[in-house]
Amino acid sequence: MQLGAEDELYFEDVSATEIADTYGTPTYVYEENTIRDNFRRVLNAFRKYYSDFHLFYALKACNNPAIGHILRQEGAGIDAASVNEILLAEHLGLGGEDVMFSGNYLSDADMQEGLNTGVIFNLDDIKLLPRVLQFGKPEILSFRVNPGYGQSNIGDYVTNAGPEAKFGVHPDQVYDAYRMAKEAGITRFGAHMMPGSCVTDPDYFAYVTELLMDLIGHAGKDLGIKFEFIDLGGGLGIPYSPDEKSLDIEETARKTSEVFKEKTDAYGLERPTLMMEPARYFVGEAGYVLGRVHAVKETYKRVIGTDIGMNVLARPSMYGAYHPVYVNRRENEARERLGLCGQICENTDFWIKDRLLPAGTNEGDLVAAGKAGAYGHVMTYQYNGRLRPAEVLVNGSNHHLIRQRESFDDLIRHTNIPSYLQD
Min dist. Cβ of residue 167 to ligand PLP (A): 8
Nearer to ligand PLP, 26 or 168 (CB): 168
Min dist. Cβ of residue 238 to ligand PLP (A): 9
Is 352:303 a contact under the CB 8 Å cutoff? no
345 is catalytic: yes
Min dist. Cβ of residue 328 to ligand PLP (A): 28
Q: What phi and psi, each to the nearest 5 degrees, are found at residue 50?
A: -150, 105
Q: How far apart, in whole angstroms, are the C-alpha atoms of residue 230 and residue 379?
A: 29
Min dist. Cβ of residue 237 to ligand PLP (A): 7
Nearer to ligand PLP, 181 or 374 (CB): 374
- Comparing CA positions, the residue from 326, 390, 369 lying closest to residue 22 is 390
Nearer to ligand PLP, 277 or 349 (CB): 277
- Pairing mode, strands 273-276 and 227-231: parallel
- Using the CB atoms, write b or e for 75-113: b if 16+ within 10 Å: ebbbbbbbbebbebbbebebbebbbbbbbbebeeebbeb
Helical H segments across 275-360, by residue range: 280-283, 315-319
CB atoms within 10 A of CB 335: 16
Asked if residue 163 has a cis previous peptide bond (ω within 30° of 0), the answer is no
Nearer to ligand PLP, 98 or 349 (CB): 98
Number of residue whose CB is nearest ligand PLP: 234
Measured CA to CA in angstroms, residue 279 lies from 16, 199, 292 at distances of: 25, 12, 28
- Pairing mode, strands 27-31 and 390-395: parallel
Residues at the interface with ligand PLP (CB under 6 A):
58, 60-61, 79, 102, 194, 197-198, 233-236, 277-281, 374
Nearer to ligand PLP, 61 or 211 (CB): 61
Min dist. Cβ of residue 348 to ligand PLP (A): 22
Is 169:124 a contact under the CB 8 Å cutoff? yes
Is 372:324 a contact under the CB 8 Å cutoff? no
Min dist. Cβ of residue 235 to ligand PLP (A): 5
Provide the phi-psi class of 12: left if phi over 0, else alpha when psi is between -120 and 50, else beta: left
Considering 62, 198, 341, 345, which one is annotated as catalytic? 345
Q: How far apart, in whole angstroms, are the C-alpha atoms of residue 31 and residue 19?
A: 13
* Residues with active-site annotation: 345
